[in-house]
Structure 1
Amino acid sequence: MATGHRRDDAVLNMVGFSLSTPARSVFGRDTRHQAASEIAALGHRVVLVRGRSVAWVDELIQSLTAMGIAVETIFSRAEPDLDAARAGVAAARAFSADCVVAVGGGAAIDLGKALAGLIPSEGDPADYLEVINETPRTLSEPLPFVAIPTTSGTGAEATRNAVISVPERQIKVSLRDPRLLPALTIVDPALTGGTPKGVTLATGLDAITQLIESYLCIRANPVTDAFCRSAVPPAIAALNRLMQAEDPAARDAMARASYLSGLALANSGLGIVHGLAAVIGGRGGAHGAICGRLLPDALRINRAAVVEQSGATDRFDEVAGWLAEGLSAPNSDGIAALRRFIDANGLPGLGDFHLPEADFTEVAEAARHASSTKGNPVTLRTDQIEAILRAAG
């Protein structure tokens, strides 16, 4: 029998908690224009990690150079792996970097964050990663790090960990340290405008999943609850709108949801969806798409497990109501409405993530021990986790 450990809200509101955030955050349209002067106050030899899709980064480099700041550019080509981390550290050390800036999606921000911690730290980057080390080494004092997201999804601009793939072991693991929180986060929703529909869907579902799992998490607290309650309903409605047409107001809502999802997960936790995504993601596939595909059935099976243990389901029902309202299905089951939404908009299935059914038991068992799973609202058996995978399809 699974063992539940969900606290009720009366107890939740009495427990102590701490709050970790970036040292400074700036949110709003056109705030990118103050980035150069803010960065110049943090360093004079800047490693800039970027993707190739946002032309504004070229303007930022020109502005920094005009201010006498030396810039070394590192391109982020995919979700960072150990080899990318090693190459980036070597290049940054040769450049004598004193500050790291990342402009891009979650992959670029994770790589930049990892470099900020690893550049001053001795040894191989692998020595500092969770899971592959029973006792990871402690980072030296990280370089100042600036995060400027150009997608709305991972919330990496507000977290203290960087996710790194280890391809030879088919896993993703975290480099984690409270000092990895950005010295400065600039969230300008205008930088996300025109993001392709498929990327918008996957990243948006990532943010929504993080908010929902943080809300249901056993370590939720009154502050993270406030983040989640304020962000989930408008985020679902905004993502629904963006699947129909480009909309600046919807982009604003998703950028806000992404940032708050990072704050929420950094200060409470996640659940089985992210536990599974950490395992499945090591085989390939976009993290947000994996989360979105798993979320409806994880909610359904988690709720059933809570009922099995005579636990309270009020939070699950609240989430289902948010989903139904945001997806314009007020008289239907919100979880079913979410499944229809992701199918109708072409979100990939588990078969597209190199996960055959023959591997479900192995993946479910690995996910039971993932760090994110520790925050799940109820302890799930391996067969219940396998049921999520079978139902998600």
Structure 2
Amino acid sequence: MAGFALTAPKRTIFGRGARVTASAEVAALGARVLLVRGRSVAWVDALAGDLTRIGCRLETVFTRGEPDLEDVRSAVRAARAHRADCVLSVGGGAAIDLGKAVAGLSPSEGDVADHLELGAARTLELSTPLPFIAIPTTAGTGAEATRNAVIGVPERRAKISLRDSRLVPDLALVDPALTDHSPRALTLASGLDAVTQLVESYLCTRANPVTDALCRSAIPSAIAALHRLMKGEDSKARDDMARASYLSGIALANSGLGIVHGLASVIGGRGAAHGAICGRLLAPGLAVNYEVLKQQTGSVARFHDVEDWLAKGLGVSGESGNRALRRFVGANGLPDLQDLGVLKADVEAIAELSLSASSTRANPVVLTRADVIRVLDLA
């Protein structure tokens, strides 16, 4: 058996109601806290009040969407001015990625761009990051369990990851109740992001026994939970999706992804929402990878596993799971590629750029530009 390593949060607290321990857990890691948060979850105000009452000094940074270079620079300046000794992120993947980047960059030399792979220049190594706590309020990105922070680079119309195994949160506190009653469109897009991460981690060339076990456990329950949530609010389904999101983060941090995320990194750099892109591209990506892999090696057993899980989770019998997935995303109002900003005139350039994306390197089979264009055409 080939060897493997496992990266995961140093500590995880998972469960409905787990947020009641949050203030004590944060205070144990630092007294001068940089709080990175969104504005949509009222509970964060209560958490900030609790932290202040027990003696913590807070400085707050509000996110304004997926972070770009200037957002990171501004937040790093705030952390340094506050002399933060830990970073707490409460929110979706954007808030967690911003906090993760600040935890790594505020003790480090140089500009954020010096630590990203932006060209031929050697990237600077991070100093030891500040303690970092992630509390997700959406179920999708799995950022509370990953080693990377995705940062937009507007001048390149791209998203590039700041990567370091030390960026994995010191504490991931996951309370599924924080996702209850999330807007339906957000639930769909973020849920499809988690499903895509699990599926690509399972199919990729870097899968290992641990990631296989996580993905086999999570994919069937995740797609079934998302199916239920499109019909109505369901606390058990919220719990299942929060679990799937967390496990998807561990899976991708320890294996890899594939062409869907390779394309999403390019398309997302043009401003489209990551989860919606993944959801729209997953079925076409599976179809093209299956065709090419079958022609080259015939080793497609894992694709049949995914087909079966999708079909069962979406409640279909005697029909392709891939076809059921395509119908599911369309019937529930996921934006199409044109709505996500993909113009026909840009397809060839997007396909070319996606071939060199870091996520594409672990795709289960080497694709040509024509293959990737076919993925986009099918979507």
| TM-score between both structures, scaled by the size of structure 1 | 0.95
Query: 1:317 matched to which residue of 2?
Result: 304
Aligned counterpart for 1:278 among listed residues 258, 262, 265: 265
Q: Report deviation, 1:123.
A: 1.4
Query: 1:6 matched to which residue of 2?
Result: none
Query: 2:201 matched to which residue of 1?
Result: 214
Query: 1:15 matched to which residue of 2?
Result: 2
Query: Does structure 1 residue 80 correspond to structure 2 residue 49?
Result: no
SS at match of 1:275: helix
Unaligned stretches of 5+ residues in structure 2: none
Deviation by residue 1:59-105 (Cα, 9 ceiling, x = unmatched): 11111101110010100110000010011011111111110000000
Q: Report deviation, 1:133.
A: 5.5
8 Å CA contact 1:171, 1:283 repeated in 2: yes
SS at match of 1:103: strand
Unaligned stretches of 5+ residues in structure 1: 1-13
Assess, with a 3 A threshold, how the Cα gap between structure 1 residues 236 and 221 changes in structure 2: closer, same or farther: same
User: Aligned ranges for residues 144-183 of structure 1 at < 5 Å?
Assistant: 144-183=131-170
Q: Report deviation, 1:310.
A: 2.7
User: Aligned ranges for residues 360-371 of structure 1 at < 5 Å?
Assistant: 360-371=347-358
Partners of 1:122 and 1:172 in 2: CA distance? 22
User: Aligned ranges for residues 319-358 of structure 1 at < 5 Å?
Assistant: 319-358=306-345
Query: 1:9 matched to which residue of 2?
Result: none
Partners of 2:55 and 2:245 in 1: CA distance? 33
Aligned counterpart for 2:367 among listed residues 370, 380, 383: 380
Assess, with a 3 A threshold, how the Cα gap between structure 1 residues 335 and 134 changes in structure 2: closer, same or farther: farther
8 Å CA contact 1:47, 1:100 repeated in 2: yes
Assess, with a 3 A threshold, how the Cα gap between structure 1 residues 355 and 131 changes in structure 2: closer, same or farther: same
Tell me the amino acid that sits aligned with residue 13 of structure 2. Answer: V
8 Å CA contact 1:127, 1:133 repeated in 2: no
Partners of 1:363 and 1:134 in 2: CA distance? 24
Aligned counterpart for 2:16 among listed residues 22, 29, 44: 29
Partners of 1:387 and 1:349 in 2: CA distance? 16
Aligned counterpart for 2:46 among listed residues 59, 64, 75: 59
SS at match of 1:350: coil
Partners of 1:199 and 1:178 in 2: CA distance? 29
Query: Does structure 1 residue 136 correspond to structure 2 residue 123?
Result: yes
Partners of 2:292 and 2:103 in 1: CA distance? 41
8 Å CA contact 1:357, 1:390 repeated in 2: no
SS at match of 2:226: helix
8 Å CA contact 1:283, 1:353 repeated in 2: no
Q: Report deviation, 1:330.
A: 2.1
Query: 1:203 matched to which residue of 2?
Result: 190
SS at match of 2:338: helix
Tell me the amino acid that sits aligned with residue 147 of structure 1. Answer: A
Partners of 2:370 and 2:155 in 1: CA distance? 27
Q: Which runs of 4+ in 1 moved over 2 A?
A: 130-135
Tell me the amino acid that sits aligned with residue 264 of structure 2. Answer: A
Q: Report deviation, 1:311.
A: 2.7
Q: Report deviation, 1:131.
A: 3.6
Seq. identity, %? 63
Query: Does structure 1 residue 232 correspond to structure 2 residue 219?
Result: yes
Partners of 2:325 and 2:271 in 1: CA distance? 24
Query: 1:303 matched to which residue of 2?
Result: 290
Deviation by residue 1:17-52 (Cα, 9 ceiling, x = unmatched): 000011000100111110110111110100000001
What root-mean-square deviation, in Å, do the aligned CA atoms of Structure 1 and Structure 2 show?
0.8
Q: Report deviation, 1:338.
A: 0.1
Query: 1:99 matched to which residue of 2?
Result: 86
| TM-score between both structures, scaled by the size of structure 2 | 0.99
Q: Report deviation, 1:125.
A: 0.7
Tell me the amino acid that sits aligned with residue 170 of structure 2. Answer: A
Q: Report deviation, 1:134.
A: 4.2
